[in-house]
A and B are shown apart, each in its own frame.
Chain A
Amino acid sequence: MAQEKNNKPEHSAEVDQEKKDAMILFLSDSEEKEHFLSKANRKLLTDPLDDDNPITVQVLGICSALAITVQLEPAIVMAIAVMAVMAFSNMIISALRNMIPNRIRIIVQLVVVASLVALVDQVLRAYAYDVSKQLSVFIGLIITNCIVMGRLEAFALGNGVYKSFLDGIGNAAGYGLILIIVAFFRELLGAGKLFGYEVLGHKGATLAESTGLYAFGYENNGLMLLSPMALIVVGIIIWVQRARNRKLIEA
């Protein structure tokens, strides 16, 4: 799959450097400050936003992504939750990578991810109960979200702690970006709102009572609120992205 391509070159060339980096990270992080946002590390953060986007290019993590894009707020909370889980699971697995026997690595990964997700779930229940109710089972489904497992397998098992952390943040950001774009269009066109505010004006019972766009007879497109439209919006995003970035086109 596509996600394998970006760990190979580094892996073969920089294994020693990698180990040294990990050591430095554990021992003292004061000396190598400028190294932390070096070009290669920046690439880890920015690549997943476009060229190597987890949803539109690597086809990972679509499972629990689309059902929560009816409104912007849950989409953003979901993106943050995924970012927390990915960054820390990547870090933990990367730190443990030389200790995990190869045959049971999937179970180890599942346990680490499941514990982190349980933690995130409890935090959301404590501090954002309404959103957590809205997200319902989809927080739990981060565990089997292929994006987490995919990055653990493809990146964290072969790279240092700090790089894996950046990779987790970058991929979660790429995932969140798509989520937020989809949620933006669905909430705006479907309900005429953003974050629950009526940005297109207020829709009254009659034309005279309405304000903003609704005064001209604009109607919300209720179809956008239904789940099939999430798929079609993602399809269109892929279309636009690949039309601009033609090297992504499939043969």
Chain B
Amino acid sequence: MDYINLFVQSIFIENMIFAYFLGMCSYLAVSKTVKTGVGLGAAVIFVLSITVPINFLLDKYLLRPGALSWLNEEYASIDLSFLSFIMFIAVIAAMVQLVEMVVEKFAPALYGALGIFLPLIAVNCAILGGALFMQQKDFPGIGYAATYGLGSGIGWFLAILGIAAIREKITYSNVPAPLKGLGITFIITGLMALGFMSFMGIKL
């Protein structure tokens, strides 16, 4: 039950885009058409659900205060958490590279579909944000971390799908000239975020 709760919460209530504005740059840049939006969204789901559990293990067995005590009791006082940023970003960059190579080898069709979006993801704030929120939330087990990663990815996917669909339609509307493009996209995102706030308080 906890898992479902966390899943729903990470998709709707703590949505990466609408609650924390993470991954906004690629969200704004790639949401001009639905097709590219879906491609990037799928890649984000993919990478988030892989990197969050890996970073969880890294945090649990290497970085947090006393994490090294599984090696030797003497190391229980060591706190390596100041290294988290570098370790997380290294894991993310390496995983993105690895995922890219694996997908290219074993699923060329998917690779073709994701295309240039995979390498772009290494510098997507949503991925690092997922790892840092995971560290902050202090999950009890790797299952929770994986659920959180998957849920956040799906939340990001839904957000970019929604805005891409709206942006495709809005080209036919008469938007005031200074608001065209970026301005109206911000305001629409804000309104969508207000809509997503109605999920607040849902508990399963």
Q: Which residues of B contact A47 (CB under 8 A)?
A: none
Stretch in contact with the other chain, from A94-102, A190-198, A236-244:
A236-244
Task: Say yes or no: is B182 at the interface (Cβ < 8 Å to chain A).
Answer: yes
Task: Say yes or no: is B140 at the interface (Cβ < 8 Å to chain A).
Answer: no
Task: Say yes or no: is A181 at the interface (Cβ < 8 Å to chain B).
Answer: no
Stretch in contact with the other chain, from A14-22, A169-177, A202-210, A223-231:
A223-231
Task: Say yes or no: is B112 at the interface (Cβ < 8 Å to chain A).
Answer: no
Partner of B93, one of A60, A107, A146: A107
A76 to chain B, nearest CB (A): 18
Q: Is the CB of A136 within 8 A of B178?
A: no
Residue of A146, A149, A227, A232 with most chain B CB atoms under a 10 A cut-off: A227
Task: Say yes or no: is A145 at the interface (Cβ < 8 Å to chain B).
Answer: yes
Secondary structure type dominating chain B contacts: helix
Q: Is the CB of A238 within 8 A of B182?
A: yes
Q: Which residues of A contact B34 (CB under 8 A)?
A: none
Q: Is the CB of A227 within 8 A of B18?
A: yes
Q: Which residues of B contact A59 (CB under 8 A)?
A: 25, 28-29, 182
Q: Which of A26-77 contact B (CB under 8 A)?
A: 56, 59-67
Q: Which residues of A contact B179 (CB under 8 A)?
A: 235, 238-239, 242
Task: Say yes or no: is A23 at the interface (Cβ < 8 Å to chain B).
Answer: no
Stretch in contact with the other chain, from B67-75, B82-90, B103-111:
B82-90
Considering the chains assembled together, what is the distance between the CA atoms of A66 and B125 in angstroms?
13
Secondary structure type dominating chain A contacts: helix
Q: Is the CB of B93 within 8 A of A63?
A: no
Considering the chains assembled together, what is the distance between the CA atoms of A229 and B83 in angstroms?
34
Q: Is the CB of B20 within 8 A of A250?
A: no
Q: Is the CB of B133 within 8 A of A227?
A: no
Q: Is the CB of A121 within 8 A of B85?
A: yes
Q: Is the CB of A144 within 8 A of B93?
A: no
Task: Say yes or no: is B127 at the interface (Cβ < 8 Å to chain A).
Answer: yes
Considering the chains assembled together, what is the distance between the CA atoms of A65 and B181 in angstroms?
20
Q: Is the CB of A234 within 8 A of B186?
A: yes
A69 to chain B, nearest CB (A): 10
Q: Is the CB of B183 within 8 A of A242?
A: yes
Q: Which residues of A contact B90 (CB under 8 A)?
A: 110-111
B49 to chain A, nearest CB (A): 18
Task: Say yes or no: is B50 at the interface (Cβ < 8 Å to chain A).
Answer: no
Q: Is the CB of B25 within 8 A of A235?
A: no
Task: Say yes or no: is A128 at the interface (Cβ < 8 Å to chain B).
Answer: no
Q: Which residues of A contact B20 (CB under 8 A)?
A: 67, 227
Q: Is the CB of A118 within 8 A of B83?
A: yes
Q: Is the CB of B21 within 8 A of A56?
A: no
Task: Say yes or no: is B177 at the interface (Cβ < 8 Å to chain A).
Answer: yes
Q: Is the CB of A118 within 8 A of B85?
A: yes
Task: Say yes or no: is A221 at the interface (Cβ < 8 Å to chain B).
Answer: no
The closest CB in chain B to the CB of A232 belongs to B190
Task: Say yes or no: is B76 at the interface (Cβ < 8 Å to chain A).
Answer: no
Partner of A115, one of B86, B125, B129, B178: B86
Q: Is the CB of A137 within 8 A of B28?
A: no
Q: Is the CB of B85 within 8 A of A143?
A: yes
The closest CB in chain A to the CB of B124 belongs to A144
Beyond A67-B21, A231-B190, whether A140 also contacts B84 by CB under 8 A is yes
Q: Is the CB of A137 within 8 A of B136?
A: yes
Beyond A118-B86, A227-B19, A235-B183, whether A249 also contacts B190 by CB under 8 A is no
Q: Which residues of A contact B113 (CB under 8 A)?
A: none
What would be 30 A-B contacts, judged by CB atoms less than 8 Å apart? Answer: A60-B25, A62-B28, A63-B24, A63-B25, A63-B125, A64-B21, A66-B21, A67-B20, A106-B123, A107-B93, A110-B89, A110-B122, A114-B89, A115-B86, A140-B128, A144-B89, A144-B125, A146-B26, A227-B193, A228-B18, A235-B179, A235-B183, A235-B184, A235-B190, A236-B183, A238-B178, A238-B186, A239-B179, A242-B183, A249-B178
